[in-house]
Structure 1
């Protein structure tokens, strides 16, 4: 399967995440909900890696691998805590699109830190995402 298939699947599951989380957060603390989510994800991924035959000893990873995986985990954790809190306080139909402001930030960070060079049409699409986020953020 191509990267596009995986990216579209990610979008579908991210959308379901917002809906399921919004309902699941009713009457409970968003931080506890985030912790439960993380534990379930860890268990499912461990089973997936094990049964798909992809297990390798993580102690063989380089220090660079570990550094950036830890940084990624910290960023993911912070994102989840903020996302669940926003879902608890706001409407899923507004929170999720604003969360996608990350699309713009990823593009900028990819240029600055990874040396990527998106084409003009890519920047046009990224700008449209930004315009959508601004429309959602404007108070009525």
Structure 2
């Protein structure tokens, strides 16, 4: 299989799957504790990724990774877990069409964190886009 190198295509696919995640999760949370649902989802992700790595020959001993990599992956995993727990709780009590856009406020936060910690410098046009995303979230979140 030829490796697809287009970041935009992968990001677009991520958005499609994230959208499906919200819909499927909302349907699956009926009568189920959101934390238990998050655990089930996590186990499924673990199994699917383990199978994918094995099938594609990408398996590597994770204990051979550098210590610095381990620390940042641990922090990322903790942040992901916290995000998923909050997201599923929000989906359990809120409407998916309201929850998902507020969750995407993470887009604005990623830019701010990237500027602060990674020394990334968006252009004026990119800042405008980020501002519009933030404004869109506020418009959806503020009640009339």
Is TM (by shorter chain) over 0.5? yes
Quick one: which of 89, 105, 121 aligns to 1:101?
A: 105
Distance 2:90 2:134 in 1: 19
Count of aligned pairs between the two proteins: 140
Which of 28, 33, 44 is residue 37 of structure 2 equivalent to? 33
Residue from 21, 27, 37 that aligns with 2:25: 21
Unaligned runs of 5+ in 2: none
Runs of 4 or more consecutive aligned structure 1 residues displaced over 6 Å after TM superposition: none
1:123 is aligned, of 116, 122, 127, to 127
What is the root-mean-square deviation in Å for CA atoms of aligned residues? 0.5
TM-score by length of 1: 0.99
Separation in 2, partners of 1:28, 1:102? 26
Return 5+ residue gaps in structure 1 as ranges.
Answer: none
- 1:85 and 2:89 correspond: yes
Q: What TM-score comes out, normalization by structure 2 length?
A: 0.96
